[in-house]
Amino acid sequence: MSNLLEKFRFLLPQDYADKYTTYKLQNRLMNYYGDSIVIQPQQGQGKSNIMFSSSISIGDAIKAASQLKSKLKIEQLDLEIGSEEQILHTAANILRRDIHSLDLNNDYYPTPSECSLPLSIQSMPPNLTKFISCIGKLWADGGLRDLMVDSGVYAGCTVDQMLLGKQFNRSVRGLTLVYEALRSLWFASFFKWCEENDGIDAIPKDVWVMLSKCQAKFSDESESYKDVLNELTIL
């Protein structure tokens, strides 16, 4: 609009050109061209307006813009979900790599005098401590701290240390406990919904069989339950 105004001022008297603003020119163009012109302000300070002239009506342009906006939202959502899953799997691979790379002697048990904090930190993956600390920063105020304290399992001051990445063993056990509790509630809600909507009979019997096998395998020290879990995922 600023460039168009500069060209338009050459056609105006000198004493009137300096007083003519972009707002006046914008209104004059809209009154003259009607639906054949669209003037869209740009976002951001100091940004000029953009003018579009077309034989397409404003209604058709708005309809097309709405469809494009909806399509972009769906594509953005798919991209965000894919990115989150990729980040999660990448983080898990990094943590597993750090755990396996630790040089620990299982045949030697340190004496009480040797169990100092620096020695304990050496046998702990630093990225895992940072990961627990990030969980605390993201979800402590979102209900995670209240959930762990109100359950009566841990004291408030202990939970604060756990969510800072300290008290490593308690942090891992506590977060695992919260995860398992939420999963149990999720499964319970799912089966309740199936029962209320007469959906229990629609679930194949093979799923129930594999669920029982998977639950029985969880107590096994080996990782044989993963094969059953993969079969259950395929079902």
177: pLDDT strictly greater than 80: yes
Residues 105, 220, 218: CA angle, nearest 5 degrees: 115
Q: Could you read off the pLDDT of 94-115 as tens digits, one per residue?
A: 877 877 777 666 666 667 666 6
pTM surpassing 0.75? no
Mean pLDDT, range 201-216, rounded to an integer:
72
The whole-angstrom separation of Cα 25 and Cα 229 is 68
Do 162 and 174 contact (CB within 8 A), yes or no?
Answer: yes
How confident is residue 67, by pLDDT bands cut at 50, 70 and 90? Answer: low
Q: What is the predicted pLDDT for the residue at 104?
A: 65
Share the mean pLDDT of the chain.
Answer: 71
- From the CB of residue 44, how many other CB atoms can be counted at a distance below 10 Å? 6
Q: What is the predicted pLDDT for the residue at 221?
A: 53
53: pLDDT strictly greater than 70: no
The whole-angstrom separation of Cα 174 and Cα 68 is 46
Domain segments of the chain as ranges: 2-55, 60-102, 125-197, 204-235
Mean pLDDT, range 36-57, rounded to an integer:
60
191: pLDDT strictly greater than 60: yes
How confident is residue 70, by pLDDT bands cut at 50, 70 and 90? Answer: low
Q: Look at 123-132, 184-193, 225-234 and tell me which has the smallest mean pLDDT.
A: 225-234
Q: Give the contacts of 17 (CB within 8 A, at least 6 positions apart).
A: 9, 10
Do 135 and 175 contact (CB within 8 A), yes or no?
Answer: yes
Q: What is the predicted pLDDT for the residue at 6?
A: 73
Q: What's the Cα-to-Cα distance from 195 to each of 153, 161, 200, 215, 235, rounded to whole Å?
A: 32, 42, 6, 21, 20
How confident is residue 151, by pLDDT bands cut at 50, 70 and 90? Answer: confident
